[in-house]
Amino acid sequence: MKIAKILPLTLSVFFGWHANAAAPNPRILVAYYSLTGKTEKVARAIADASGGQLYRIMVDKSYPDDTSERRDVLEQEIEQNYLPVLKVTQINPEDYDIIFLGSPVWANHISQPVKSLLAKYNLKGKRVIPFVTHSGGGRGESFDDVAALCAGCIVDMDGWSNWGGGTGRRLTKWVQQQIKDVD
Ligand SMILES: Cc1cc2nc3c(=O)[nH]c(=O)nc-3n(C[C@H](O)[C@H](O)[C@H](O)COP(=O)(O)O)c2cc1C
């Protein structure tokens, strides 16, 4: 192995250094809902790049394993604007200055569980940065939903949106840009 390859490896072992990993930042929360893992991938990358605390939004029910049956159930819930009950959690919004809020795009909007979260917690005064994944239809009205449902929040309408949960250097740079004023 060449020295150019050995040196970064050795440094990372000695100093716990990782190319994209930021030091933990207890004032940043990365909350997300993910049904099939794509938004979760992005959430993990954002937590890695920001040092934020990762928080998975979970609903207190299970959906059918079969994809098309599940889609039918979800579409009905979306149609009725049903807000699923969330599993009991321990987040205290007061602990955070910045909240990255992630969701898959469902029928051009944020997912119902994220709506449940916004109904449950008072995030007034918090800077909320939405991020969404979709399957080609774009962010739709998802950022507007966050702005409409998060009373008194400072919502960053220039959030992150991508197809299929891709991550990479562009995402890391975007995160660093978002948090540059927070130490
Ligand atoms: C009920 C439902 C509705 C969806 N509606 C849209 C949509 O309007 N536009 C789109 O591009 N993708 C749509 N999708 C696809 C998801 O947004 C996409 O697969 C997303 O990356 C999944 O994220 P997840 O793996 O974190 O759940 C929908 C998926 C489901 C289950």
**Domains of the chain (ranges, CATH numbers):** 20-178 (3.40.50.360)
What is the model's pTM? 0.90
Report the mean per-residue pLDDT for the chain: 89
Which pLDDT does position 180 carry in this prediction? 87
Query: Quick check: CB of 75 below 6 Å from ligand 1?
Result: yes
Query: Quick check: CB of 64 below 6 Å from ligand 1?
Result: no
Which pLDDT does position 12 carry in this prediction? 42
Tell me the pLDDT band of 125, cut-offs 50, 70 and 90: very high
Region 117-135: what's the mean pLDDT?
96
Nearest C-alpha to atom 31 of ligand 1 is from which residue?
Answer: 71
Comparing C-alpha atoms, which of 36, 60, 34, 59 is closest to residue 47? 34
- Asked if the model's pLDDT at residue 166 lies above 80, the reply is yes
CA of 105 to the centre of ligand 1 (A): 5
DSSP strand pairing (28-32 vs 109-110): unpaired
How many CB atoms are closer than 10 A to CB 82? 13
Query: Quick check: CB of 165 below 6 Å from ligand 1?
Result: yes
The vertex-173 CA angle with 39 and 102, nearest 5°, equals 20
Q: Which atom of ligand 1 is nearest to the CA of 138?
A: 11
Q: For residue range 64-110, list pLDDT tens digits in order.
A: 999 999 999 999 999 999 999 999 877 898 999 999 999 999 999 99
Mutational test site, ligand 1, from 135, 143, 160, max ligand atoms within 8 Å of CB: 135
